[in-house]
Structure 1
Amino acid sequence: MPELPEMETYKSLLHSLINGKPIIDVSIHREKSINLPVDEFIQQVANQKITSIKRRAKYLVFQLESGVCLLLHLMLGGWMFFGRDEDKPNRTVQVRLSFGEQHLHFIGLRLGYLHLLTTEMVREAFEKLGPEPLSPQFTIDCFHQQLHNRRGNLKSLLINQEVIAGIGNRYSDEILWHAELLPERKVHDLAEEQFTHLYNSILFILERGIQQGGYMENPLFIGDGKTGGYQMYIHDREGEACPRCHTPIVKKEMSSHKVYFCQRCQH
């Protein structure tokens, strides 16, 4: 599932590709990917100019000049491609927004969606989300407050969107490895130094993920040299040598999630 770095990469790249441009046409190939009848959705979206593109947690918000928004969540397996139809990957497209000869193809939206909502509806959808971990407001004191009196292990807290927005299964493994903490550790067991290290690891890993373009394998457009440059330290690397101590990386199941960690240098 795309997480904060992937959606931030999409946001920055799409800003240069489609921001300020009108949506000439709309094609819907899977009605369940949208939240309105097809004709009504097309009527409200077609010929609308995109005035801004913002990210919140794992969502993208495309603001239209009429005042309504397109809210995108790619969920598991969703991705995008921008370009001509003849250049797109040989994959099923659920929704297509046309910008003349170039189109934004939404692919793999079997669980994901592109919903047309008012600004107020988007605000309500975000009400329960925790703070953005890379915002100026996410200080060490804010982190303390978010975890105060929380129960559960570090892994479950990091991926809880009501605690911190945008971190998922992949980057939580990376963060905990960088912080040298085991995923099953309880937050109330952490010494202050470990807590600070965890906070700094969140910032480091997410910023590194954005700088390297996230982990998505598929480029957003032909010639895209940004998307997918992030190399995981340990996630999905079972049996490979830990980059820090060279012990084989372990995988196990925790609350229906595949978790990767090092038994030697995470404590």
Structure 2
Amino acid sequence: MPELPEMETYRTLLVPRVCGPEITATQVNREKTINLASEEFSRILAGNRLTAIERRGKHLLFLLQNGQLLLLHLMLGGFLYWGTSTDKLDRTAQVTLSFGEHILYFHGLRLGYLHLLDKDEAARKLSALGPEPLAPAFTPAQFARLLTGKRGVLKTALVDQHWLAGIGNCYADEICFHAGILPTRKIPELTDAESTRLYHSMQTVLQEAIKYGGYMETPLYRGDLLTGGFDKRCQVYDREGEPCPQCGHAIAKSELSSRKVFACTNCQT
């Protein structure tokens, strides 16, 4: 599932491509992906323009010239592609937005959605999300306050979007490895020093993942050399049986509430 770095990579790469040009056509191949009748959806978007793209957690907000916005959540299996009708991928897109000859394809949205909302509706829909881990206002002290009184297992908390927005399975494991803490640790057992390490590891891992384009391998467009560059830099995620890059001990895979967990049981405590 795309996480914060993947969505931030999409945002960065799409802004200079889709913000400004007129939306010349739309196509909806799966009505459940949108929240309006396809005719109404297309009517509102035709001739409209995107003025900006923002990110909130794992969501992208495509701001429209008319004051509305498109709220995107890719969920599991969703991804974007930017190309032309002759440059498209060999699979059906649930929705497409055309900007002249170039087209933004929304693929894999069987579980995800692209909803046309006004700003108040979007704010209500996103209101339950936790703080942004890379926001300037999100300090070590605020993270410590979040941990205070929190029960349960560390990884379960890190992937809880109501507690902290944007982190999923991959980056929860990578953050815990960087901090030298097992994802299966009980939160009340964490020391102040471990809490501080976790905070700084969160900043380091997420910033590095953004720098290298996240871990999703499908490029956004032909010639895209950024998207997916972090995949080969993952230290533990999806590395079961491979040697730990720090100690050489085999990376272990386990399950926690039906989620895969990857860790070095020798380096992480």
Quick check: TM above 0.5?
A: yes
What amino acid is aligned across from residue 186 of structure 2 in structure 1?
K
Shift of 1:111: 0.6
State the distance in 2 between where 1:139 and 1:46 align. Answer: 42
Shift of 1:112: 0.8
State the distance in 1 between where 2:113 and 2:159 align. Answer: 21
2:94 counterpart SS class: strand
Shift of 1:9: 0.2
Identity %: 50
Structure 2 partner of 1:244: 246
Structure 2 partner of 1:6: 6
Structure 1 partner of 2:159: 159
Aligned structure 1 segments of 4 or more residues deviating by more than 4 angstroms: none
After superposition, where does 1:112-123 map in structure 2 within 5 Å?
112-123=112-123
State the distance in 1 between where 2:196 and 2:92 align. Answer: 45
Deviations 1:115-149 (A, max 9, x none): 00110011011111111111101101110122221
State the distance in 1 between where 2:29 and 2:129 align. Answer: 30
Tell me if the contact between 1:147 and 1:163 (Cα under 8 Å) persists in the aligned partners.
no
Structure 1 partner of 2:262: 260
1:150 counterpart SS class: coil
2:106 counterpart SS class: strand
2:175 counterpart SS class: helix
Structure 1 partner of 2:211: 211
The alignment status of 1:171 with 2:171, answered yes or no, reads yes
1:87 counterpart SS class: coil
Structure 2 partner of 1:149: 149
For the aligned residues, what is the CA RMSD? 0.8
Aligned length: 267
Shift of 1:15: 0.5
Per mean C-alpha deviation after superposition, the further-off stretch among 197-206 and 83-92 is 83-92
Shift of 1:89: 1.3
State the distance in 2 between where 1:79 and 1:161 align. Answer: 20
State the distance in 1 between where 2:63 and 2:151 align. Answer: 37
What 5-or-longer segments of structure 2 have no aligned partner? none
What amino acid is aligned across from residue 237 of structure 2 in structure 1?
H
What amino acid is aligned across from residue 162 of structure 2 in structure 1?
E
What amino acid is aligned across from residue 262 of structure 2 in structure 1?
Y
What amino acid is aligned across from residue 139 of structure 1 in structure 2?
T
Q: Provide the TM-score with structure 2 as the length reference.
A: 0.98
Deviations 1:77-127 (A, max 9, x none): 100110112111111111000000000001111111100011001101111
The alignment status of 1:110 with 2:110, answered yes or no, reads yes
